[in-house]
Structure 1
Amino acid sequence: MRLSSIFTAVVGLALAGASAYMARDFLEAQRAEAALAEQGAIVDVIVASRDIEFGQPIEAHMLTSISWPVDAVPAGVFNTFEELLPAQNGAPRRARRAMSQGEPILVNKVSEFGEKITITQTIGKNNRAMAISVNATTAVGGFVTPGDFVDIVLTQGGGSNLRAITILQNIRIIGVDQNANEQTDAPKVTRTVTVEVTPEQGQTLALAQSAGRLSLTLRTLEAEEDKPLESIKLSDVIQPLSPLPEDQPKPTIRVRRALNVTEEDPTIYGYSGN
């Protein structure tokens, strides 16, 4: 019993000492923070306490306040919850773009109270949004998602005249089908992508859609400066076949049109050898 009592007393003293040190450190940190606040060295900044998706209403449980050095505060922050949250029964602000946990809430990232949020809030000044038709093959197998950057390649013509050219480079994807959430990372086979372009690029894209098939090439994050690319033809990538010997009869193609049968030179269909 005596040893047990002694052990209990020692443990109690150790816990009491640890608690005293923790309390002292906490009080010193509080006093230091209060002193800095009085000197204007830090301010409260409202940040996201969880991930917030594009278009979501801003609610109190999504927010928290942290202390921030006043000399490093980003422009356009909110310092109080009252600035960011609506009055009782009032219309909320909404996220103009997706925000990550711990990210400061900035004025340009949220709407006004009750303001409608659409895809136009994600478009840069003087730019336009334009949709193009794609499929699993032309949209990188569905791996293109909102927020990615792509090059757009036009393929047109037929036979030996088939050619491809990169018409636009470093183009941002705004939406995939009706999804504009840049936090989406799951591949999805889509039929339409919406891209952000300048008015001049929009004209180019409109003509290209009518002229042939458009394909997207997904860019790496480390892509270097873009350079103009020359168009290439099918003949540039396919090695031509050896010509037939002069004494060997040239092949012909028999074409039937209704009741008429004609023989034609196969070279007009892109055939140039055996």
Structure 2
Amino acid sequence: MRTTSFLTFLAGLAVAGGSAYMVRDLMETKYAQVEAQACTNDLVKVVIATQDIPFGKVIDAGKLAVIDWPASALPPGAFTDPAALLPAAGTDPRRAKMALAKGDLLLASKVSGFGEKVTIVQSLGPNRRAIAINVTAETGVGGFVTPGDKVDVILTHGRSEDLKTVTIMQNIRVIGVDQDANADNDTPGIARTVTLEVTAEEGQRLALAQRAGTLSLALRTIENEDEPVLEAISLRDVLREPEPQDVAAPEEVTVRSVVVRRGVETTEDELR
């Protein structure tokens, strides 16, 4: 009797456990279906680049594709239809206003209007200017400066022992090297001019500094953008020579004398 009751208890426990597992699996499956349906309803179509599109290059159908994108994460200005990016027959195309990488979303801020001229102006920030400075292999970091890099500008002026140098600008963005404004171009080359993005005041300082001496560029790392302003140094600082001391002028000594006349003879004696 006891054995029968025990077996009946085990059978009931097994049935209850199996039922609980079945209910759990059913609920998980139903929840997953509902969640998948919800996700599907929240997706929109967006246009992306299927290859790198350099600055100023034409945007055509062969460089575009459409993918699903969460509607809640859709950025402003995103294109949802490739036709909006392609010109009508016989009309001028759109161009990239900045370099686009493969997989990037096509945004209104990154593409030009139909037939719009794309120049370096489109890459400037608000209230910014573009100014070019002359460089050589020595002053232009051996040609390793490319568009998109950040640099410091150093002015060297004076002659011989009066030679001085000072960092006049820090963390300035390079927007062009010679005639190249493509930020994806990382091929070194010896440039003759480098174009920098500056404020109006910085542009004035650069124009004046070019007349005052030699400008050199110092290539910066991506980190450590905030640094204290550097003080000017002279050739004496580099050579670790002490500054010349002012030599005191010798003290003037007042000499007093007395004139002695003896008959026709006259003598002058100093008083001590």
Please indicate, yes or no, whether the TM-score normalized by the shorter chain is above 0.5.
yes
Instruction: Provide the rounded CA distance (Å) in 2 between the counterparts of 1:206 and 1:195.
Output: 12
Residue aligning to 2:208? 207
| 3-state DSSP of counterpart to 1:147 | coil
Query: Alpha-carbon deviation of 1:89?
Result: 2.2
Cα distance in structure 2, aligned partners of 1:109 and 1:59? 14
CA shift in 2, pair 1:161/1:129, >3 Å = same
- Please name the residue that 1:70 is paired with: 71
**Number of paired residues?**
211
Question: TM (normalized to structure 2)?
Answer: 0.74
**Aligned equivalents of 2:78, 2:35: Cα separation in 1:** 24
User: Which residue of structure 2 lines up, in the alignment, with residue 160 of structure 1?
Assistant: 161
The answer to whether the aligner puts 1:190 opposite 2:191 as a matched pair is yes
- Matched residue, 1:235: 236
Per-residue deviation, residues 198-219 of structure 1 (Å, max 9, x unmatched): 0000011011000000000000
- Comparing 166-175 and 84-93, the one that deviates more: 84-93
Q: After TM superposition, where is structure 1 displaced by more than 3 Å over at least 4 residues in a row?
A: 31-37
Q: Paired residue for 1:91?
A: 92
Match of 2:104 in 1: 103
Instruction: Look up the SS of the partner of 1:154 in the other structure.
Output: strand
Shift of residue 226, structure 1, vs aligned partner: 2.4
Amino acid paired to 2:107: L
Measure the CA separation in 1 of the matches of 2:213 and 2:142.
20
* Paired residue type of 2:171: N
Larger of the two Rg values belongs to structure: 2
Counterpart amino acid of residue 131 in structure 2: M
Match of 1:203, SS state, is helix
Residue 139 of structure 1 and its aligned partner are, at CA, apart by 0.5
Show structure 2 runs of 5+ residues with no match: 1-33, 243-272
Name 1:223's counterpart in structure 2.
224
1:175 maps to what in 2?
176
Q: Identical aligned pairs, as a percentage?
A: 52
TM-score normalised to the size of structure 1?
0.74
Alpha-carbon offset, residue 84 of structure 1: 1.1
TM-fit CA distance, 1:91: 1.2
- How much does 1:68 deviate? 0.6
1:233 alignment partner AA = S
Deviation of the 1:240 alpha carbon: 3.5
